[in-house]
Structure 1
Amino acid sequence: MPLAFRNLDITPEAPVSSWPTEAVQAALERGDLEHWRRIVAEVNQDPWGRIARQLEEVLSHSRPYGIADAMDVALARARRRAEDEEREQVAAEVRDAIARSGLSRAEFASRIGTSASRLSTYATGKVTPSASLMVRMRRVAAQGE
């Protein structure tokens, strides 16, 4: 029996991005692999977006057997992947700031108030610098241009 949304002015064929929370819940509880994959695809596109938040909300009060744990894992993986990508973007910005400054790494580190070894952890993405440190890095890089 195909999935149908009750009391909603939307069909399961509509883009998941347009589904209300009730549709997400219905898809989890009565849908099939196709519906679940579509939800996960939307979460992968925006791990903190509206559908991801709706999924969290549904899973906080409804734990459909067999899919709830899988959706928890999918959400966590999407967020971890996004965080890894963001961390790499910050590391790339740090490396770019160092290069634009025209300074040695040790000199750049000193100018922003940290050690060369700590700067290295920022440049490799092992550690994410604070917002205020990023502002300092941008300022020192701009002075070198």
Structure 2
Amino acid sequence: MTMLRFRNIDATPDDPVEDWGFEGLLTAVERGSLPHWRRIVSSVRRDPFGKVAAELEEVLGVAEREGVVDSLRRNLDRARAGERGAVAERVRRAVVRSDLTAAAFARTIGTSPSRLSTYMSGQVTPSAALLTKMERTADDLALESYVRSVRER
């Protein structure tokens, strides 16, 4: 692991991330490396709305290492989205896979574009039956599109 040292705090990089505080997290973001960032992400995943996650959110507002900040922000957002976010991601992937506009996909599965938008954003979670229908429809449309493209060659 890259040598990382904390200054002016009682914690060390070997201590649990929960003991690092704002200064330790900022130092790890700015001067740490992948193993340090993985430890931060693991802590955030364990408690997406806990102390480390809240401190990390503050750190990300002031840290200057753009790539690291972007990656940690995505991980924090993903951890906070939880299952609802995972379902929203599956809905978004189904729409993309279908090769239809969101409005056309909504009509195809029998819902309104505005309702589909709430599923895609994670504001509302579709039933398991509707999610299954979305994924099956997307797969069928993608297969039809592929067969059409092969025939046109």
Change (3 A) 1:124 1:70: same
Describe the SS at the equivalent of 1:42.
helix
Per mean C-alpha deviation after superposition, the further-off stretch among 43-52 and 59-68 is 59-68
Contiguous gaps of at least 5 residues in structure 1: 86-120, 127-145
Change (3 A) 1:10 1:77: same
Q: 5 Å matches for 1:72-91? A: 72-81=73-82, 83=84
Is structure 2 residue 22 aligned with structure 1 residue 21?
yes
CA distance, structure 2, for counterparts of residue 41 and residue 122 of structure 1: 26
**1:67 match:** 68
CA distance, structure 2, for counterparts of residue 54 and residue 73 of structure 1: 15
Calculate the TM-score normalised by the size of structure 1. 0.56
Change (3 A) 1:30 1:124: same
CA distance, structure 2, for counterparts of residue 63 and residue 6 of structure 1: 18
The answer as to whether partners of 1:47 and 1:82 remain within 8 angstroms in 2 is no
CA distance, structure 2, for counterparts of residue 36 and residue 122 of structure 1: 31
**1:111 match:** none
Is structure 2 residue 37 aligned with structure 1 residue 31?
no
CA distance, structure 2, for counterparts of residue 15 and residue 125 of structure 1: 38
Q: Deviations over 1:39-68 (max 9, x none)?
A: 000000011110001111011122313201
Q: Which amino acid letter does the alignment assign opposite residue 36 of structure 1?
A: W
When the two structures are aligned, how many residues end up with a matched partner?
Answer: 91
Contiguous gaps of at least 5 residues in structure 2: 87-123, 130-153
Q: CA RMSD in A?
A: 2.5
Q: Which amino acid letter does the alignment assign opposite residue 28 of structure 2?
A: A
